[in-house]
Amino acid sequence: MSARRHLTASGRVALAMTLTLTVGVVALALTSYIAVSSGLQADIDRGLLRESEAFMAAVHSGEAEEDDSGLVEIARTYLAARTKAETGAQPILLVRLSDGRVLSNSDVKLETAEGNTELPTAGFSTIVLGSEQYRVATAPILGANGAVAGVFQAALSTAYMRGVAANLGGTLGLGGALVVILGAILSAWAARASLSPLRKVAATAGQITQSSLGDRVPYDGPDDEVGAMVESFNGMLDRLETAFTEQRRFVADASHELRTPIAVVCGNLDLIDHPRTDETSKQRALEAIRDEAGRLGRLVDDLLALARLDSRQLRPFQLLDVATLAEEAVVRARAIGGPTIVNDVPGGLWVSGDPDQLDQALLNLMRNAITHTPVAGTVTVSARVEGDNVVISIRDTGAGIRTEDLPRLFDRFYRSQGPRAATSGGSGLGLAITKRLVELHQGTIEAHNAVGGGAIFTLRLRKQSAPKDA
């Protein structure tokens, strides 16, 4: 395992920030050192150039002679004057003639330095004599006849420049090290503070069990990536808590619904097994057992249907004519008997979906309306376009729905205790199945009481364009 994997997330962030800061400090220090060193050398070069220009001016102002005697006299006079200078850094001046004679204002024998023993060419150079380094400017001296009579050299020790550069380098190095150390400390603190919500997320996730989903990660920081992650994590916990709560309620409701028919079956079996039970009572007990067995069968079928709807993947949707869907459902509903069923769905309305599932949804709603509508009443199926949706309504003329029952009407196992109380032996899952079927088609379903009595169930499905061959 690499060393990088041994570091925590905050450690990696702090390390990256420290390395970035180190590179920046080193680059700034090197740039500053090079700039100052170059500036000091440029100052020395300018001073040496001025010395060369001053000597040449003195030579040109002197009287010209055919031999070098006049040049030597001018050089001696100039060097003597410069030797007496008392202010500023004192340069070493040399006049080196073509015949080998050397005139100087110093005892330092620069003409013996390596690389400077022969008459050099004009320009700037750096030479070393003993343990000392010098910066040298060389200029040619022209005689009266225009020939090169020698060279003039102005030299200055670089000790001061190197001392300033060394001090600057030490200061930059020390300052840079302090900045990097302080930056590393601040980076570690900032990384740890920024990523502390992640540790809280990990700690909260480690404490969560099915029985304790109420914990949330507190976060009062900025709306950044960490905040978004904490919000998403808390949202996930909300969904998990809701799902587990619904699951526990579903199991409790299913257990309750199963307990009643099982109790009835067991009671009637005991009655049949009793030696004093007559044949008539045994027959009634058997009929009760058959009824409860049928109820158990319907309940299990509905539970399986919900499980399939919750887990299965939909088949590819197809264009469906709402009028055809409604007509098929009405034909099957009329076979049940009961109130009059009116089909008031116009043609030309199209939706996309699974025909079997939408047929089941419509039939469930019609069966529910038939159950709660008197024989003399009417169940009406209608459809219309509303914006981008096709709205399908099933209206009955029954007793209506209690206002307090409307919010929970589509909950699993929920039964109204009002005038529409379940008396048909249903499982309490029909409307929940219908809602799930509609949701799988990205639609909505709602219920409300109609003006004048009865209930209206309304489905909204996305409207589609009619096929070209329709």
H or E segment to which residue 423 belongs: none
Residue 215 burial (CB < 10 Å; 0-12/13-18/19+)?
A: middle
pLDDT at 304 over 80: no
Instruction: Give the mean model confidence (pLDDT) for residues 347-359.
Output: 90
| Band (88; pLDDT cuts 50, 70, 90) | very low
Residue of 393, 390, 394, 409 lying closest to 460 (CA atoms): 390
CA atoms within 13 A of residue 156's CA, in its CB half-sphere: 23
DSSP annotation string for 167-188: HHHHHHHHHHHHHHHHHHHHHH
| Band (86; pLDDT cuts 50, 70, 90) | very low
More confident residue, 10 or 212: 10
Q: Which fold has domain 315-464?
A: Heat Shock Protein 90 (3.30.565)
CA dihedral 272, 274, 279, 280 (to 10 degrees): -70
| Band (356; pLDDT cuts 50, 70, 90) | confident
Residue of 293, 287, 283 lying closest to 262 (CA atoms): 293
Q: Which fold has domain 3-166?
A: Beta-Lactamase (3.30.450)
More confident residue, 68 or 112: 112
* pLDDT (0 to 100) of residue 444: 94
Q: Where are the domains of the chain?
A: 3-166, 225-310, 315-464
The C-alpha atoms of residue 425 and residue 292 are separated, in whole angstroms, by: 9
| Band (270; pLDDT cuts 50, 70, 90) | confident
Mean pLDDT of the chain: 81
Model pTM above 0.75: no
* pLDDT (0 to 100) of residue 56: 87
Whether 95 contacts 109, CB under 8 Å: no
At the top level of CATH, which class does the domain 225-310 belong to?
mainly alpha
More confident residue, 64 or 174: 174
SS3 category, 253: helix
Q: Which two tokens stand for residue 356?
A: 């079997």
The C-alpha atoms of residue 142 and residue 148 are separated, in whole angstroms, by: 4
pLDDT in tens, 118-161: 888 888 988 898 888 999 999 998 876 777 888 999 998 888 88
* pLDDT (0 to 100) of residue 280: 85
Our measurement of the distance from residue 298's CA atom to the centroid of its chain's CA atoms, rounded to an integer in Å, reads 48
The C-alpha atoms of residue 128 and residue 138 are separated, in whole angstroms, by: 15
* Contacts by 159-165, CB closer than 8 A, 24 or more apart: 159/132, 159/133, 160/89, 161/37, 161/40, 161/41, 161/44, 161/135, 162/133, 164/36, 164/40, 165/33, 165/36, 165/37, 165/40
